[in-house]
């Protein structure tokens, strides 16, 4: 369909894993060059190797915010650079949470170097606040159940992902107590590899140093391409405030509202540029049963990226 809108979208914390993008790093020059540029930026800032952390570390856990934050942003920028090199450009772009950092690069709000450094500074600010928290996803339960369990354990609704699928956030001991009850009653859930209570009222104070950092760097730009704010669930076509990238990890994410807004633009092909394909699943589960829009994921933990890229070429060629 020639009139189908092409949507790029990016995911945030919780979508990461060691080895993400390895096949592309190994076999695609554009992707590898982009990651190597990010490697230089990260090493200069925190004296750690992005490449080693992603592909050669033997540690099982991958939840150190100081490296996962810039790793996610770097991977998403690299896959964007790969698609751009193929002549694939979006009609609209949005991100969810940390995914808005890469979305901002696509739309010219800031450049890749600024986005990666900002992700590191945000991580530093949160780590230095000594906040200990966590996040988990509750499955096949309605909003009333989730609200009640949040009240019981002093937790917060971090995201409404789609019907009967929610992410909650809070202090570590409260998340752990909630997890014990969910296990006891055989309620489906999974714990995210995140040690911070993102998208909760606990976060703003931990971002004080980050807000200071953002106010001393160069002003952010007005989007040059059509930018849909994941946090505000609408298109933003004015100059972006310096506080915006604090907002994106603080407010509750409302995926149903966001996708309803994007769908108002017409029939869409949603291309997920996140590391795991989670965003694609969220979009798909929020589409109306009569929607003609389609979803497509490139990266997953199964490492079939080259196969997916060939499929995407065929899809786009058929629409020309």
Tell me, yes or no, whether 116 lies in a domain: yes
d(CA 275, CA 296): 13
Give me the residue label for tokens 């040690």: 195
184 and 296 belong to one structural domain: no
Identify whether residues 121 and 28 lie together within a single domain: yes
In a domain, 197, yes or no: no
Order of strands across the sheet that contains 133-139: 189-191, 133-139, 165-171, 156-162, 253-254
Give the pLDDT of the chain (320 residues) as one tens digit per residue: 568 999 999 998 888 889 999 999 999 999 999 999 999 999 999 999 999 999 999 888 888 999 999 999 999 999 999 999 999 999 999 999 999 999 999 999 999 999 999 999 999 999 999 999 999 999 999 999 999 999 999 999 999 999 999 999 999 999 999 999 999 999 999 999 899 999 999 999 999 999 999 999 999 999 999 999 999 999 999 999 999 999 999 999 999 999 999 999 999 999 999 999 999 999 999 999 999 999 999 999 898 999 999 999 999 988 54
CATH number of the domain that residue 240 is part of: 3.40.366.10
- Compute the Cα dihedral for 303, 44, 95, 251 and give only its sign: positive
How many angstroms separate the CA atoms of 210 and 243, rounded? 9
- Other CB atoms within 10 Å distance of the CB of residue 133: 23
pTM: 0.96
Let me know: does 21 contact 75? Beta carbons within 8 Å.
Answer: yes
Element (H, E) at 113: helix 112-128
Same domain, 238 and 294: yes
Is residue 147 located within the same domain as residue 217? no
Q: Are residues 250 and 108 in the same domain?
A: yes
């Amino acid at each position: 369909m020639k009139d189908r809108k092409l949507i790029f979208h990016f995911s945030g914390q919780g979508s990461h894993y060691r080895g993400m993008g390895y096949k592309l790093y190994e076999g695609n020059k554009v992707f590898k060059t982009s990651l190597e540029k990010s490697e230089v930026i990260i090493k200069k800032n925190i004296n750690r190797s992005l490449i080693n952390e992603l592909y050669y570390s033997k540690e099982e856990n991958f939840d150190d915010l100081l490296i996962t934050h810039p790793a996610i942003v770097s991977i998403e920028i690299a896959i964007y650079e790969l698609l751009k090199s193929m002549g694939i450009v979006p009609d609209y772009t949005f991100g969810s949470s940390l995914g808005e950092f890469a979305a901002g690069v696509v739309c010219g709000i800031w450049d890749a170097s600024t986005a990666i450094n900002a992700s590191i500074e945000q991580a530093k600010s949160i780590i230095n606040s000594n906040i200990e928290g966590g996040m988990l996803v509750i499955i096949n339960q309605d909003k009333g159940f989730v609200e009640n369990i949040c009240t019981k354990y002093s937790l917060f609704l971090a995201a409404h992902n789609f019907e009967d699928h929610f992410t909650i956030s809070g202090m570590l001991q409260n998340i752990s107590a909630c997890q014990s009850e969910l296990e006891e009653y055989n309620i489906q859930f999974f714990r995210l590899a995140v040690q911070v209570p993102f998208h909760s009222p606990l976060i703003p104070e931990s971002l004080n140093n980050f807000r200071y950092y953002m106010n001393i760097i160069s002003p952010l730009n007005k989007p040059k391409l059509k930018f849909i704010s994941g946090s505000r669930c609408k298109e933003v076509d004015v100059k972006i405030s310096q506080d915006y990238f604090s907002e994106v990890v603080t407010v509750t994410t409302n995926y149903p509202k966001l996708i309803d807004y994007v769908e108002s633009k017409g029939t869409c092909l949603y291309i997920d540029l996140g590391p795991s394909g989670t965003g694609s699943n969220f979009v798909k589960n929020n589409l109306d049963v009569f929607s003609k829009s389609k979803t497509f994921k490139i990266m997953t933990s199964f490492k079939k990226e080259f196969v997916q890229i060939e499929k995407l070429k065929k899809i786009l060629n058929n629409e020309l």
